[in-house]
Amino acid sequence: MDNSWFKRGFALRDVKTAAGELFTVKTIREIADWLWEPFLVFAGFYLVAAAVAQPFYVPSGSMQPTIAIGDLLLATKYSYGYNRYSLPFAGGDTPKQRLFASLPQQGDVVVFRKPGNTAATLVKRVIGLPGDRVQMRGGRVWINGKELPLREDGIGRAEDGPTEAAPGSYFRTARFIETLPNGREHPIFKKAWGTEKSDTAEYVVPPDHLFVMGDNRDDSLDSRYPLEESGVGYLPVANVMGRAQVVVASVDFVNASGFWAWPLEFRVRRLLNRIH
Structural domain range at position 139: 54-274
pLDDT exceeds 60 at position 132: yes
Are residues 66 and 18 both part of a single domain?
A: no
Are residues 37 and 92 both part of a single domain?
A: no
Query: Is residue 153 helix, strand or coil?
Result: strand
Are residues 18 and 70 both part of a single domain?
A: no
Nearest in space to 77 (alpha carbons), one of 85, 90, 86: 86
Q: What per-residue confidence (pLDDT) applies to 101?
A: 87
pLDDT exceeds 80 at position 233: yes
Active-site residue (options: 77, 114, 124, 190) = 124
Helix (H) or strand (E) holding 177: strand 170-179
pLDDT exceeds 90 at position 93: no
Q: What per-residue confidence (pLDDT) applies to 259?
A: 83
Q: What per-residue confidence (pLDDT) applies to 28?
A: 66
Active-site residue (options: 60, 62, 220, 223) = 62
**Mean per-residue pLDDT of the chain:** 86
Phi, psi of 226 (to 5 degrees): -70, 170
Are residues 136 and 178 both part of a single domain?
A: yes
Confidence of residue 46 (pLDDT cuts 50, 70, 90): very low
* Number of domains present in the structure of the chain: 2
Q: What per-residue confidence (pLDDT) applies to 60?
A: 93
Sign of the four-CA dihedral 270, 271, 273, 275: positive
Instruction: Report the DSSP pairing between strands 146-147 and 140-143.
Output: antiparallel
Are residues 232 and 199 both part of a single domain?
A: yes
Helix (H) or strand (E) holding 181: none
Are residues 196 and 78 both part of a single domain?
A: yes
Are residues 10 and 109 both part of a single domain?
A: no
Are residues 38 and 65 both part of a single domain?
A: no
Are residues 85 and 202 both part of a single domain?
A: yes
Active site (annotated) includes residue 124: yes
Of the three residues 30, 48, 66, the one that is the final residue of a domain is 48
Nearest in space to 217 (alpha carbons), one of 115, 118, 103, 141: 141
Taking residues 237-248, report their average pLDDT: 96
5-42 confidence digits (pLDDT tens): 434 444 444 444 544 554 566 666 666 556 555 544 44
Confidence of residue 43 (pLDDT cuts 50, 70, 90): very low
Taking residues 167-181, report their average pLDDT: 96
Active site (annotated) includes residue 250: no
Are residues 245 and 158 both part of a single domain?
A: yes
Are residues 13 and 66 both part of a single domain?
A: no
